[in-house]
Chain A
Amino acid sequence: MIQSFQIEHPDITPDMVGRIDAVVAENRSKSGSVITVLRECQNIVGYLPVELIDYISSGLNLPQSHVYGVASFYSLFSMKPKGRHMVKVCLGTACYVKGIKEVISRIQNTYHLEAGGTTDDRRFSLEAVRCLGACGLAPVMVVNHDTHGDISSDKVISILEKYT
């Protein structure tokens, strides 16, 4: 597809641009496809730099304010770069009752990492998420795609140390 708008960004490789163009082309004529496009582009790049949002707006022929508005509304979308390992700790009710608060404070103390933040070496990103639907295993933490159930503040660091 011919875009009137070029994209240059250190985190976006030419190969990624090709895949992004394909996603945009596929969804261009579908109404209401912004969220799908943003999700797939975030999967490709890892996050949504502002330049990418502008690029998507031009590709979908939508105002930048509309696409930015959608991206900032939904918690799935992040405009900041992420670490190599995504640590999601569950802040749902069941996990809260079972002591996730202590687990989070242990992670924060050990890696100097706030919820929503990334370590300086981009090893971990920490996110406090709402119920992962695995309440039977509470308290729950998901690292990348691995679900760890029944974690405690003493166990959590040895689990995380395995992700280098």
Chain B
Amino acid sequence: MPNLTVLDLLKIKEDTQVFLEAPGITTLLICGGTGCHATGGKSVKEALENEIQAKGLGQKARIVETGCNGFCAMGPIMVVQPGGIFYQKIKPEDIPELVDHQLIQGKPLERLLYKDPASKKTVVSQHDIPFFAHQMPLALRNKGIINPEVIEHYIARDGYMGAAKALLEMDKEDIVEQVRLSGLRGRGGAGFPTGVKWDFASKSPGDVKYVLCNADEGDPGAFMDRSILEADPHAVLEGMIIASKAINSHQGYIYARTEYPLAIRRLEIAIGQARNYGLLGQNILGSGHDFDIEIYQGAGAFVCGEETALMRSIEGKRGMPRPRPPFPAIQGLWEKPTILNNVETLANIPQIIIRGGAWYGGIGTETSKGTKVFALSGDINNIGLVEVPMGTSLRTIIYDVGGGIPNKKKFKAVQLGGPSGGCVPEAHLDTLVDYEAIAKVGAIMGSGGAIVMDENTCMVDMARFFMDFIQDESCGKCTPCREGTRRLLEILIKICDGKGEPEDLNNLETLSAMIKDASLCGLGQTAPNPVLSTLRYFRDEYEAHIHEKRCPAKRCVALLKFEINPDICTACGSCFRSCPAEAIEWQKKQPARINRDKCIKCMTCFEKCKFDAIF
């Protein structure tokens, strides 16, 4: 097929829009993200296809499988257009009734609609669900709207218009200038201004340069980049094409996590379609610019998310970081000038080019522009993907978008920024989403993982959890990180095991300061953050573990007695029924008792007891 021209692109856009918006046709947008696949979305889609065929509704309804809708906790999800009717937790058995109501009688099926837990009211339209109402989708503008495996759908939503503008109407200085004006900062964690990074690489001498996309998404509790790739892979490709013109590069790589098979498959499909249309390859859109992209799969090492380690990994070596300078913009992949950007950073680029840097710069706060995507999870009602303008308060995210804490539990902290980040307690929930404001309270914006913890979370145990992760993932090249994190972990384990000593807290602090100062890369330099931030806000919990040998949240097994308080026990018997070791003695109307000889300390009864009677 000959390369597309801009006129062809406009024609495809128009034709697809006419096709998608044809009157009298109902579009059933069924979520095909990893979450909905796991809850049975595929069989729902099959049932739907069969039912539509059986009822002869093929002319009236069209099924579109989209990427992740974002409201993962409610899956499988389907949105019906026109009307934006939002159905949740659909089962294949529901389909005949759903089709009858929605497509034949033309009225929504009430029992599968969203019910607001606060007001108990049924909500019909997706727009009116509080989870969506506060969001501003820019990076995720196509999520749940297009089929990510059909390039024409993307083109119908202005896809590749940014690339066309950049390649045909702008020179590289204009592109860099618009990105600089937008104020966009890297979404991969460090928040470095993207325009400045591109400017360095653009001015760096050399004929061979590379554009890399970081899709390694290593932070546990983060799934923003996976969702963007699953829902809108072309946006990332288009961002890379624009970047390639800005720095004059002809080859790009996407470094993708091997744990994300669906995202990788959609990227492969997208790259194939783009090549087919000549949107990748030689003489793109007749502009004379050549650029192609390859996917490189990682092999499970957290440190490979770090830029210099990632480049070593693409070169087929052990993924170990190296000191900077020289910066990758001067000497990166195979020693050539290279830029590396995060998936979400790149997904923002096409809109910035189409609408102009000033437009994007008009959203957000003084130093943080645009929107940020968060992966909201943990002890929160509305688990899912959230994109809010910078300057939104954490309280809004947790209570308005997130719907608060389930089971009437109290909020304790929200963990931002993964293993390099920190916890924000209740007292600082009015902090705004802004790189500087979040850093001030001892956390980092990070890549966007936001894990909410309720009162049953032990903060010393959380610090131990993160240190275990870091210690395991430390590549071992520099001593402060390799040995220091191991010593931190040993102290934390000791405290959780009830063997903590008073001087441990001082030792944690001294050691942390040393690791921060002396480590080679970002992994070690930020590794002590989870310890420091929990010490800052929850020192009393550390002290209870050390001085009273008590875990206030009742999570540290070594500090629990495994006894039942007969005054609180309601004799409901749920602990008795759930105990796998038959270690609980109970009869109706009698408080339960734990037989310590049989107890395997698996904690199941603690989870099951609604009355907090076990200690």
B223–A133 CB distance below 8 A:
yes
| CB pair A136 B383 closer than 8 Å | yes
B301: interface (CB < 8 Å) = yes
Q: Does B319 contact A (CB under 8 A)?
A: yes
In this assembly, does B123 line the interface, its C-beta being within 8 Å of a C-beta of chain A?
A: no
A113 to chain B, nearest CB (A): 15
Q: CA–CA, A87 to B113, complex, Å?
A: 35
Complex interface bits, B122-139 against A, C-beta within 8 A gives 1, otherwise 0? 000000000000000000
- Scoring A residues 32 to 69 as 1 if CB is less than 8 Å from chain B, else 0, what string do you get? 11111011000000000000000000000000000001
Q: Which chain A residues border B377 with CB–CB below 8 Å? A: 93-94, 135-136, 138
Q: Is the Cβ of A97 less than 8 Å from the Cβ of B379?
A: yes
Min CB gap B222→A, angstroms = 7
The answer on a CB contact under 8 Å between A77 and B299 is: yes
Contact of B580 among A34, A38, A109, A129 (CB under 8 A): A109
Question: In the complex, which of the residues A36, A74, A109 has the most CB atoms of chain B within 10 Å of its own CB atom?
Answer: A74
A79 at the binding interface (Cβ < 8 Å): no
Chain A 103-140 interface mask (CB, 8 Å, partner B; 1/0): 00110011000000000000000000111111111101
* Docked-complex contact A133 and B217, CB < 8 angstroms: yes
Chain B CB count within 10 A is highest, among A35, A39, A75, for A35
Interface residues on chain A, number (Cβ under 8 Å): 46
Give the residues in chain B near A75, CB-CB below 8 Å. 299-301
| In-complex Cβ contact of A92 among B73, B220, B379 (8 A) | B220
CA distance A73 to B219 in the complex (A): 19
B221, A131: Cβ atoms under 8 Å? yes
| Residues of A close to B317: CB separation below 8 A | 32, 70
Residues of B246-265 at the interface with A, using a CB-CB cut-off of 8 Å, are 257-260
B315 touches A31 (CB 8 A): yes
A154: CB under 8 A from chain B?
yes
- Measured between beta carbons, the chain A residues less than 8 angstroms from B535 are none
Q: How far is the CA of A140 from the CA of B73 in the complex (A)?
A: 13
Please state if A93 and B415 are interface contacts (CB–CB under 8 Å). yes
Query: Are B580 and A153 within 8 A (Cβ)?
Result: yes
Minimum CB–CB distance for B571 against chain A, Å? 20
Query: Which residues from chain A contact B302 at a C-beta distance below 8 Å?
Result: 130
| Contact status of A74 and B299, CB under 8 A, knowing A33-B316, A97-B451, A109-B602 | yes
| C-alpha gap A138/B297 in the complex (Å) | 25
Shortest Cβ distance from B232 into chain A, in angstroms?
16
Chain B residues 448 to 462 lying within 8 A of chain A, measured CB to CB, are 449, 451-453, 457, 462
Check: A83 CB closer than 8 A to any chain B CB.
no
Shortest distance in angstroms between A99's beta carbon and chain B's nearest beta carbon? 6
A92 B221 Cβ-Cβ under 8 A: yes
Q: Are B299 and A97 in contact (CB under 8 A)?
A: no
Q: How far is the CA of A56 from the CA of B451 in the complex (A)?
A: 42
Measured CB to CB, the nearest residue on chain A to B38 is A147
B contact residues around A99 at 8 Å (CB)? 607
Contact partners of B580 in chain A: CB under 8 A: 106, 109-110, 153-154
Nearest CB to that of A72 among chain B residues?
Answer: B318
Residues on B with C-beta less than 8 A from A77 are 299
Shortest Cβ gap from A128 to chain B (Å): 10
B38 and A154 within 8 A (CB)? no
- In the assembled complex, B218 has its CB within 8 A of some CB on chain A: yes
* CB–CB A153/B316 < 8 A: no
Contact flag A93-B449 (CB < 8 Å), given A32-B314, A137-B35: yes
Hey, which chain A residues are within 8 Å of B314, CB to CB? 32
Any B CB within 8 A of the CB of A84: no
B220-A70 in contact (CB<8A) = no
Closest to A110 in B: B580
Considering only CB atoms, which chain B residue lies closest to A153 in the complex? B604
In the assembly, what is the distance between CA of A123 and CA of B574, in Å?
32
Evaluate contact between A76 and B258: CB separation under 8 angstroms. yes
Inter-subunit contact A137/B72 (CB<8 Å): yes
* B603, CB-defined interface residue at 8 Å: yes
Q: A91 CA to B469 CA in the complex, in Å?
A: 9
8 Å CB contact of B220 from A35, A93, A149:
A93
> Do B220 and A94 touch (CB < 8 A)?
yes
Residues of A within 8 A of B391 (CB): none
A91 vs B470: C-alpha distance in the bound complex, in angstroms? 13
Contact A73 B38, beta carbon cutoff 8 Å:
no
Query: Which residues of A pack against B, CB within 8 Å?
Result: 31-36, 38-39, 69-70, 73-77, 91-94, 96-99, 101-102, 105-106, 109-110, 129-138, 140, 147-149, 152-154
Interface positions of B (Cβ within 8 A of A): 34-35, 37-39, 72-73, 75, 217-223, 226, 257-260, 297-302, 313-319, 334, 375, 377-379, 383-384, 415, 418, 449, 451-453, 457, 462, 465-466, 469, 475, 578, 580, 600, 602-604, 607
The 8 closest A-B pairs by CB, nearest first: A136-B72, A32-B316, A92-B220, A74-B299, A147-B38, A93-B221, A131-B220, A94-B377
Q: 10 new A-B pairs (CB below 8 Å) besides A39-B258, A73-B318, A136-B383?
A: A32-B317, A76-B300, A92-B221, A93-B221, A94-B451, A109-B600, A131-B219, A132-B259, A135-B222, A147-B34
